[in-house]
A and B are shown apart, each in its own frame.
Chain A
Amino acid sequence: MMTDSISRRDWQRLSAYIDGQLSAKESAFLATRLKNDPALQAALDDLKTLRGALRNLPQLRAPRNFTLTPQMARGRTPRAARLYPTFRLASVVSSLLFIFVLLGNIFGMGRLTIAPSAQELVAPAAEKMAEPVEMLAEAPAAQAITEGETGVAEDVESEPVAVPPEAESAAEAELASVTTATPELVIVEEESAPVMTIIPNVTSAPERAMPNSLAADSDIPQTSAMPLSRAAILEIVLAALALSTGSVALYLRWRSRR
């Protein structure tokens, strides 16, 4: 066979040559080689023969008409196209929910509906409660704080307020003359979720008896310092849902248009 004696590269050049795909310079160079190389010329002849045979193949007639009926034209919508609106809607809804929760959280609505757990709330509250007691003990007009006065502290596993022994005795001595300004833990029922909050008990305490720092601390933040509140978790879940359904919707749209 003549094609055995020429390189694959030459064969590729010959193939492009017979289709007029070589540049003028390459064609001229190849034409010169063809005059001097009988093997190359024989390969070109074989190639022309092959191409001629292929081009002269009889054109087959279609065995039947392929015209479409209305049913065929309507057909069955591809699965990707059917699923696309569902995922698009899911993406839009989850995006709107995400924005709603985000805005609610920013403007304070989240505090009304999303309550931190009791344990999360009591821990910082107990710290706040200990501070004024220690200050009062150093005064040395501190009030003895018993476990009973802390309200629901036992229920929420809160540590009793620690009072140094020396401060305790001094506080007992001055108990009668010192007014109380002890914060209380109460449970406020809001909607479906019980919300535990701290309301400073100042009804029986004259303002003059309360140290300035305690007065400043009386508005203890209710939801701050939460490492990952439920609202934040909800935001993350909604954002992930919006992104994933949006991505799937885009993919399905791309599939259905292929």
Chain B
Amino acid sequence: MDESALIQAAQQGDLEAFNHLVLAYQDRVYNQAYRVMGEHSAAEDAAQDAFISAYRKLHTYRGGSFIAWLLRIVTNACYDELRRRKRRPTTPLEPETDDGERFDSPYWLTDPGESPEAALQRTELATAIQCCLNELAPDFRMAIVLIDIQGMDYNEAASAIEKPLGTIKSRLARARLRMQTCLQKFRELLPAAHRLSEEAV
């Protein structure tokens, strides 16, 4: 059964058809949630909430890219959770230095049983990027996650966060600049293999 047939069946209340769509897109939805929330448990909650919300709002889907529609819902779910956290801040489970300041990166979370080289190779870049993403303001984070990580084009991203194209361009450029600045802290740790060669524009 193709995507449009599944969507049509789900719109008529066929839960099994909707669950086929869930299985097809859950990785991308979870990725989006994780890159925005920066935590696995929060990402799971956001992804589950997004699918529940998507099923109930399926009658509002008017065609177009279904994954873009789903990503918009999970983005909104993440926004809601971030706003809720802002209203009710909690103390993060992070160590502090002797001066009472928090460590800049979550390297303390790495598995101590893993060899340093292997851990570095596997997690270093992703961890550094996620750490820098977490430091971005949510609006900038959404833009860079949707375009640079999810691979959406500008129009899809604008539709997902319901902002004009110019806002997306501006937010993306500023997000990239801040990411660039943040990653300088980790530059000496990044393996050269992750650097891109010149791309033809």
Contacts and interface: CB of A to CB of B under 8 A. Distances in A.
On whether the two chains bind one another, the answer is yes
B199 A48 contact: yes
A31 to B, nearest CB: 8
12 contacts: A3-B180, A12-B169, A12-B174, A15-B169, A16-B169, A51-B196, A62-B29, A63-B40, A66-B26, A72-B52, A73-B55, A75-B52
Residue of B22, B154, B169, B180 with most chain A CB atoms under a 10 A cut-off:
B180
Interface of B: 15, 18-19, 22-23, 26-31, 34-35, 40, 44, 47-48, 51-52, 55-56, 60, 125-126, 129, 144, 147-149, 151, 154, 169-170, 172-174, 176-177, 179-181, 183-184, 190, 194-196, 198-199, 201
Given A8-B174, A68-B22, A73-B56, 17 more contacts: A12-B173, A14-B173, A18-B199, A48-B196, A49-B196, A52-B194, A53-B183, A53-B195, A57-B125, A60-B34, A61-B30, A65-B22, A65-B26, A66-B51, A67-B19, A73-B18, A257-B60
A64 B144 CA distance: 26
B176 A50 contact: yes
A54 B27 contact: no
A21 B169 contact: yes
B136 to A, nearest CB: 12
Contacts of B51: 66-68
Contacts of A45: 198
B2 to A, nearest CB: 19
A57 B136 CA distance: 17
Contact of B31 (A17, A54, A59, A66): A59
A46 interface: yes
Contacts of A66: 22, 26, 29-30, 47-48, 51
Main secondary structure of the interface of B (DSSP, over half): helix
Contact of A60 (B15, B18, B27, B172): B27
A15 B173 contact: yes
Name the interface size band of chain A.
35 or more
A112 to B, nearest CB: 51
A57 B181 contact: no
A47 interface: yes
Given A51-B176, A66-B48, A1 B181 contact: yes
Given A16-B169, A48-B199, A62-B27, A57 B15 contact: no
A54 B44 contact: no
Contact of B179 (A12, A50, A63, A72): A50
Contacts of B28: 59
Contacts of B176: 11, 15, 47, 50-51
A219 interface: no
Nearest 5 CB-CB pairings of A with B: A52-B196, A15-B173, A54-B148, A12-B173, A62-B30
